Amino acid sequence: MSTTLKRKNLMNSFLEEHAYSLFQNSAKNKKFSILPLRNFKDMFYTGKISIGTPGQQFRVLFDTSFADFWVTSVYCQDPGCSKHKHFDPRESTTFEITDRHMNHLNKFGRIMGFFGRDIVRIGNVVIKNQTFALSQSQTSKILPCVPFEGILGLGYPTLATVGITPFFDNLMQQGIISEPVFAFYLNTKKKNGRVVMLGGVDHSYHKGKLNWIPVSESRYWQITVDRISMNGKVIGCTNRCQAILDTGSSSVCGPTRLITKIQRLIGARPSKGCRYLISRRVNTTIPPVVFTINGVDYPMHPENYILRTSCGLCVRTFVGGTEEMTESETWILGDVFLRLYVSVFDRGNRRIGLAPAV
């Protein structure tokens, strides 16, 4: 038994070191691309893309909890569509229509439309025959107000409309990237910060080595959390639980009863104009919320989840309601968590790497 364990530990160590070395030189790789992202009030991170010939410019949200790719089109007559740029397939000489349709309900609302194919350019990356949806209807209270014209999903193909090849799968199949990896840096400390990386990871964006976490279900970018604690006491994931890393969400979401417990422990109370308000004048005594994942602690300190407003110390970053998604305890780790770390999504090895952002 001890020999078997030693061999297993040696193999795990070898795999970790070998996999890490695969991405050491991504920044110098010609098949590696970095795209700047724009931060909109710490709620959305959007990037510029071009569709068609000649190219039509749009801003899209890169969303790891979604797998399809859609943009607002000239065929959408909903009030919210008029406030955004529209893709017009008649203006593209390379556009091809398909017989597929999209009818998708997600956190932003219901999007309906039809799929077409065209050339898509993202930074120095050019993807031919990329399938995407042209919206005909956008039923949403949120979408009219957002600073983007579409969503580019980076979730697993099992989330996509049947018969549709997602964007990242096209990158892999066409050999546009050398590694089946993408990564996000959403912090604001680096001078040219807030980027999405395609085909690898630039290690100058993080401190220390990446800690790898197995994907527990190849649908969402879903992982197993060991526990959630404050002041050394377990307050969530008592018997381990699941979490989804979601670049399309700004908050940390969890079961309502546990979110209420966190608010109580940090001394927050419900308030108008602010989800919760902390009555204390200083937040130095408020403890961090620590997510322990695959044996590693990932703390969210008060300065990460508390906003200073004219009303006082406001907590808007913890949101309940995941019990409506599933009966088992599930959390969504959105941008407020991801800003603290470089997040590497490794499709080839079905895992996620996290390391503190510089």
Residue 5 has a pLDDT of 37
CATH of the domain at 315: 2.40.70.10
Query: 208 and 314: one domain?
Result: yes
Residue 274 has a pLDDT of 61
Residue 20 has a pLDDT of 44
Query: 238 and 279: one domain?
Result: yes
137-161 mean pLDDT:
93
**Cα gap 256→270, rounded to integer Å:** 13
Tens-place pLDDT, residues 192-239: 679 999 999 999 999 999 999 999 999 999 999 999 999 999 999 999
* pLDDT value at 48 more than 90: yes
Which residues 6+ apart lie within 8 Å of 40 measured at CB? 46, 146, 147
Domain boundary among 176, 191, 217: 176
Query: 158 and 220: one domain?
Result: no
Residue 309 has a pLDDT of 65
Query: 75 and 144: one domain?
Result: yes
Query: 106 and 171: one domain?
Result: yes
**Is 193 contained in some domain?**
no
Confidence tier at 276 by pLDDT (50, 70, 90): low
91-95 mean pLDDT:
98
Query: 81 and 146: one domain?
Result: yes
34-58 mean pLDDT:
95
Domain boundary among 140, 159, 176: 176
Give the count of domains, the chain.
Answer: 2
Query: 212 and 165: one domain?
Result: no
Structure tokens at 156: 């697993």
pLDDT, greater one: 205 or 188? 205
**Is 198 contained in some domain?**
no
Least confident interval from 29-43, 162-176, 341-355? 29-43
Domain boundary among 127, 161, 176: 176
**Is 25 contained in some domain?**
no
Residue 305 has a pLDDT of 83
Residue count of the chain, please give it: 358
Q: Using CA atoms in the order 314, 318, 321, 326, what is the torsion angle rounded to 10 degrees?
A: 180
Which residues 6+ apart lie within 8 Å of 317 measured at CB? 250, 251, 252, 304, 305, 307, 336
State the residue range of the domain holding 288.
203-356
**Is 196 contained in some domain?**
no
Query: 171 and 261: one domain?
Result: no
Residue 145 has a pLDDT of 87
Residue 14 has a pLDDT of 43
263-270 mean pLDDT:
81
pTM beyond cutoff 0.75: yes
**Is 141 contained in some domain?**
yes
Q: H or E stretch including 237?
A: none
Least confident interval from 141-155, 190-204, 335-349? 190-204
Indicate which residues carry an active-site annotation: 63, 246
**Is 20 contained in some domain?**
no
- Average predicted confidence (pLDDT) for the chain: 88
* pLDDT value at 139 more than 60: yes
Among the listed residues 197, 167, 187, 148, the one whose alpha carbon sits nearest the alpha carbon of residue 44:
148
